A and B are shown apart, each in its own frame.
Chain A
Amino acid sequence: MIQLLAIPILPLLATVAALGLGRRLPWAGGALIVAAIALSLIGLLLVPDGTAISAIWFESGGYCLTVGLEVAPLTRFAAIIVAGIALGVAIYSLGYMAGKPNWPRFFAELGLFVGAMLALVLSSSLVLLFAAWELVGLASYLLIGFHHEEAGASAAAAKAFLMTRIGDVGLLLGWLLAVAATGTTDVEALVGAIGARQLGPSVVAMIAFLMVAGVVGKSAQLPLTGWLPDAMIGPTPVSALLHSATMVAAGAFLVLRLYPVFAAVPAALVLLLWIGATTALVAGLIATAEMDLKRVLAWSTASQLGEMMIALGLGGPRAATFHLAAHAAFKSTLFLAAGVVQEETGTGRLDRLGGVVRALPLTGVIFVLAALALAGVPPLSGFWSEEAILAIAVRHGPGMALLLVLLALLAGIYIGRAAAAAFLGGPWKRIAGKANWAMRTGMALLALVTAILGWLLSDGLAAFLPFPIVPEPEIGWRLCAVAAGLIGLGVGAGRARRSSAPTLGSLPAHLGAGLMAATAAPARWVTRLGRHLDLFEAGLDKCVRGLAIAAEALARTAQSAERSLDAAAGRTAGAVWRLACDTERAEALGFGRGGDALAAGIDTGGERLRGLQAGRLYLYTLALFVWAGAALVVGGLMVWL
């Protein structure tokens, strides 16, 4: 368990160490990375089959997101390939990057990639797979843009990142759909559910097609091929590890890992087949016209990946696995040799190179060895894998077999041209002498693997993989294929000795330019559309703004109207209130105070009258006499008058 957990963790820990104190470690932490990868490789070899570690990350509703690692035959095989190639490349990098600026960062990023890639291939959980997938993409971005000070490096990094991201969206939607369908991120659960036919066919088809998009993006298949040649601007070990052997093969690995999903959807396999066939053909043709050594190898990578897709589409996962491993070995060897050439001569242009084999004999031998493997010459590794694919194709029909033979011819032509143009011809005088033992060791290690992998694959791994064994094709087709490869080699080498011009005329060059333009055009269109959308959005914004302003003005008007109404109502209410108050006051004055005054008057009158009745006898007598006197006077006056 700990070993399993340590396999991806060790490179990541080495990354952290290289980042933190890389400048104080030997080879700027590179040795640490190499040691970590070696330990991971040993761990992979020692971990027993079926070891799995899984944990629930979190549960939400009916969904259970798990993270886990699993050592199954396929995953162990892929992980060994990754770790092995990474080990060789890392050793090579010790010499390649020595003394260059920022090399601790390089090793840190390399460790990050290796850890993430190991996690990817070992993952038993879709979410962990996706996270590792994105981490690998991030490492690719960082490594392509490692020389970000060079012109085009950051643009190429961004291009690679964005184009793979288009596919990643498909993968993301695919695994989310799978999670929605199964309720878990466990790969085995998904596979088991599909095997038990628990999911609807449309759901499975949707998952498969969405994941095809992810595969196409990561493996640089046809609509999304353009980023791979541009990615060659990165350091050569990066090209050898990421963009030929492992990362771009992650698309094929994904199909292999989830092969039951694709097998349940024949249409997805057919789609994969045609995508792969087109890509293989077109990329092979372009490779014959490419003038840069690494770009030739890049187009070749796309072409070989297309062959893997053909194998997968034809229902031969075993053959695809074989080819994945073989291609990883010989293509990374080719890249490492090309890197040596580029370092020693200072250029990668085929029309400037020539005769390098006399200055770098070991490199030349290794390059030629790997080129022969690529061309399918027995008994090298490429022969065995292409044999397996051919067998599948032959079973499918002669058309496919012919296509494969044609592809073998094309492969011979472009690699023969590249080898001849670079190594044969006039002697190359100016050698920088940068190649050291580390580069040679790594290169030789991978060359050895290239040489012997075929036997390993054909014998030891026969029962190793869970895929059905396909019988070998007829000898006729085998001979045809080998002959095609040899003829191609001869044609390419022969034409290249005379001139480094494209072997098959200018058509493939135009095709490549057209393809790049066709890749760039949608981007431009999208950019333009984006600008127009921006303008449209601005206009829309203005419209909405105007609407909002109008609505606000309307609201303000309504508010003011309401206010005036409110004020009018308030005034009316106030007037009514005042009227009521006046009425009440008038009532109080008229009735109340009038009544009060009347009562008070009566009261005071009563008080006065009461005062008359004061109990004062003298007042009574006084009044009596006054009255009597007055009566007498009045009476007298009346009598007298």
Chain B
Amino acid sequence: MSVPLTPYLGVAAVLFAIGVYTVIAQRSAVMILMGVEVLLNAIGLNIIAFWRFTAPADYSAQIFAILVITVGAIEMAIGLAIVMLLYRQRQTAEIDSYADLKR
């Protein structure tokens, strides 16, 4: 264990920040979904890092990670399907075009 816990958490924090930036700053729905994946990755990394350094005997953390990955996959699938549908109707994937309810 030559690498302590903090660097892992630091990497996860940077990933999280980048995910936040991506989710907010990107216009395309696909890119937002990618940002969400980055956020989920950061969370998963956090979970696994804490598991490894504080409770290596309890494997529930890996279950959580698996669930996170699973839900992320489903979210990606559903999200991409919706985006596809919207794109087919609106001919655009930019989320600020989907403002019908405002009007």
What 0/1 readout, one digit per residue, does chain A (247-276) give for beta carbons within 8 Å of chain B? 000000000000000000000000000000
Q: In the bound complex, how far is the Cα of B99 from the Cα of A613, in angstroms?
A: 10
A622 within 8 A of B: yes
| Nearest-Cβ distance from residue B12 to partner chain A, whole angstroms | 15
User: Is the beta-carbon distance between B95 and A618 smaller than 8 angstroms?
Assistant: yes
User: Is the beta-carbon distance between B96 and A615 smaller than 8 angstroms?
Assistant: yes
Which residues does chain A contribute within 8 Å of B24, judged by CB atoms?
618, 621-622, 625
What 0/1 readout, one digit per residue, does chain A (585-624) give for beta carbons within 8 Å of chain B? 0000000000000000000000000100111111001100
User: Is the beta-carbon distance between A617 and B95 smaller than 8 angstroms?
Assistant: yes
Closest A residue to B102 using CB positions: A615
What is the size category of the interface that chain B forms with chain A? 10 to 19
B20 within 8 A of A: yes
User: Is the beta-carbon distance between B25 and A614 smaller than 8 angstroms?
Assistant: no
Which residues does chain B contribute within 8 Å of A618, judged by CB atoms?
23-27, 95-96
Q: In the bound complex, how far is the Cα of B26 from the Cα of A621, in angstroms?
A: 11
**Contact residue among B25, B26, B102 (Cβ-Cβ distance under 8 Å from A613):** B102
User: Is the beta-carbon distance between A615 and B98 smaller than 8 angstroms?
Assistant: yes
Which residues does chain A contribute within 8 Å of B23, judged by CB atoms?
618, 621, 625
User: Is the beta-carbon distance between B99 and A615 smaller than 8 angstroms?
Assistant: yes
Which residues does chain B contribute within 8 Å of A613, judged by CB atoms?
102
Q: In the bound complex, how far is the Cα of B90 from the Cα of A86, in angstroms?
A: 142
Which residues does chain A contribute within 8 Å of B26, judged by CB atoms?
618
**Contact residue among A610, A614, A616, A625 (Cβ-Cβ distance under 8 Å from B20):** A625
B58 within 8 A of A: no
Q: In the bound complex, how far is the Cα of B20 from the Cα of A614, in angstroms?
A: 20
Which residues does chain A contribute within 8 Å of B20, judged by CB atoms?
625
**Contact residue among A615, A616, A617, A625 (Cβ-Cβ distance under 8 Å from B32):** A617
Which residues does chain B contribute within 8 Å of A614, judged by CB atoms?
99, 102
What 0/1 readout, one digit per residue, does chain B (4-42) give for beta carbons within 8 Å of chain A? 000000000000000010011111000010000000000
Closest A residue to B27 using CB positions: A618
User: Is the beta-carbon distance between A617 and B102 smaller than 8 angstroms?
Assistant: no
Interface centre among B23, B26, B32, B100 (most CB of A within 10 A): B23
Which residues does chain B contribute within 8 Å of A615, judged by CB atoms?
96, 98-102
Chain A residues 99 to 131 lying within 8 A of chain B, measured CB to CB, are: none
Q: In the bound complex, how far is the Cα of B33 from the Cα of A79, in angstroms?
A: 154
| Nearest-Cβ distance from residue A29 to partner chain B, whole angstroms | 125
User: Is the beta-carbon distance between B25 and A616 smaller than 8 angstroms?
Assistant: no
Which residues does chain B contribute within 8 Å of A625, judged by CB atoms?
20, 23-24
Which residues does chain B contribute within 8 Å of A622, judged by CB atoms?
24
Q: In the bound complex, how far is the Cα of B100 from the Cα of A613, in angstroms?
A: 11
Q: In the bound complex, how far is the Cα of B96 from the Cα of A192, in angstroms?
A: 131
How many pairs of residues, A versus B, come closer than 8 Å at their CB atoms?
A: 30
| Nearest-Cβ distance from residue B76 to partner chain A, whole angstroms | 17
| Nearest-Cβ distance from residue A627 to partner chain B, whole angstroms | 13
Interface centre among A613, A614, A617, A625 (most CB of B within 10 A): A617
Which residues does chain A contribute within 8 Å of B25, judged by CB atoms?
618
Q: In the bound complex, how far is the Cα of B98 from the Cα of A615, in angstroms?
A: 7
Closest A residue to B95 using CB positions: A617
Interface centre among B25, B26, B27, B95 (most CB of A within 10 A): B95
Chain B residues 40 to 89 lying within 8 A of chain A, measured CB to CB, are: none
Q: In the bound complex, how far is the Cα of B32 from the Cα of A621, in angstroms?
A: 10
| Nearest-Cβ distance from residue B31 to partner chain A, whole angstroms | 11
Which residues does chain A contribute within 8 Å of B100, judged by CB atoms?
615
| Nearest-Cβ distance from residue B70 to partner chain A, whole angstroms | 23
| Nearest-Cβ distance from residue B92 to partner chain A, whole angstroms | 13
Which residues does chain B contribute within 8 Å of A616, judged by CB atoms?
95-96, 99
Closest B residue to A629 using CB positions: B20
Which residues does chain A contribute within 8 Å of B98, judged by CB atoms?
615, 617
| Nearest-Cβ distance from residue B35 to partner chain A, whole angstroms | 9
Chain A residues 43 to 90 lying within 8 A of chain B, measured CB to CB, are: none
Which residues does chain B contribute within 8 Å of A617, judged by CB atoms?
32, 95-96, 98
Q: In the bound complex, how far is the Cα of B27 from the Cα of A616, in angstroms?
A: 10
Which residues does chain A contribute within 8 Å of B32, judged by CB atoms?
617
Interface centre among B20, B25, B32, B101 (most CB of A within 10 A): B20
Closest B residue to A625 using CB positions: B20
Closest B residue to A613 using CB positions: B102
Q: In the bound complex, how far is the Cα of B26 from the Cα of A616, in angstroms?
A: 12
Interface centre among A610, A613, A621 (most CB of B within 10 A): A621
| Nearest-Cβ distance from residue B17 to partner chain A, whole angstroms | 10
Q: In the bound complex, how far is the Cα of B25 from the Cα of A295, in angstroms?
A: 153
Which residues does chain B contribute within 8 Å of A610, judged by CB atoms?
102
Q: In the bound complex, how far is the Cα of B8 from the Cα of A19, in angstroms?
A: 159
| Nearest-Cβ distance from residue A369 to partner chain B, whole angstroms | 150
Interface centre among B96, B100, B101 (most CB of A within 10 A): B96
| Nearest-Cβ distance from residue B19 to partner chain A, whole angstroms | 10
Chain A residues 408 to 423 lying within 8 A of chain B, measured CB to CB, are: none
| Nearest-Cβ distance from residue A606 to partner chain B, whole angstroms | 13
Q: In the bound complex, how far is the Cα of B92 from the Cα of A541, in angstroms?
A: 113
| Nearest-Cβ distance from residue A362 to partner chain B, whole angstroms | 150
| Nearest-Cβ distance from residue B75 to partner chain A, whole angstroms | 15
Closest A residue to B103 using CB positions: A615
| Nearest-Cβ distance from residue B13 to partner chain A, whole angstroms | 13
Q: In the bound complex, how far is the Cα of B23 from the Cα of A634, in angstroms?
A: 24
Q: In the bound complex, how far is the Cα of B102 from the Cα of A614, in angstroms?
A: 6
| Nearest-Cβ distance from residue B46 to partner chain A, whole angstroms | 14
| Nearest-Cβ distance from residue A628 to partner chain B, whole angstroms | 10
Q: In the bound complex, how far is the Cα of B34 from the Cα of A428, in angstroms?
A: 179
Q: In the bound complex, how far is the Cα of B23 from the Cα of A614, in angstroms?
A: 17
Q: In the bound complex, how far is the Cα of B13 from the Cα of A423, in angstroms?
A: 182
Q: In the bound complex, how far is the Cα of B32 from the Cα of A616, in angstroms?
A: 13
| Nearest-Cβ distance from residue A623 to partner chain B, whole angstroms | 10
Q: In the bound complex, how far is the Cα of B99 from the Cα of A262, in angstroms?
A: 132
Q: In the bound complex, how far is the Cα of B97 from the Cα of A618, in angstroms?
A: 12
Q: In the bound complex, how far is the Cα of B20 from the Cα of A554, in angstroms?
A: 100
| Nearest-Cβ distance from residue B53 to partner chain A, whole angstroms | 21
| Nearest-Cβ distance from residue A266 to partner chain B, whole angstroms | 130
Q: In the bound complex, how far is the Cα of B102 from the Cα of A1, in angstroms?
A: 124
Which residues does chain B contribute within 8 Å of A621, judged by CB atoms?
23-24
Q: In the bound complex, how far is the Cα of B25 from the Cα of A146, in angstroms?
A: 140
Q: In the bound complex, how far is the Cα of B102 from the Cα of A616, in angstroms?
A: 9
Q: In the bound complex, how far is the Cα of B101 from the Cα of A618, in angstroms?
A: 16
Q: In the bound complex, how far is the Cα of B23 from the Cα of A451, in angstroms?
A: 169
Q: A615-B101, A617-B98, A618-B96 are in contact. List 4 more A-B contacts (CB 8 A).
A: A610-B102, A615-B98, A616-B95, A618-B25
**11 A/B residue pairs, CB under 8 Å, sorted by A:** A613-B102, A614-B102, A615-B100, A615-B101, A616-B96, A616-B99, A617-B32, A618-B25, A618-B26, A618-B96, A625-B24
Nearest 7 pairs of A and B residues by beta carbon: A615-B99, A615-B102, A617-B95, A622-B24, A621-B23, A621-B24, A618-B24
B residues sitting closer than 8 Å to A (CB atoms) are 20, 23-27, 32, 95-96, 98-102
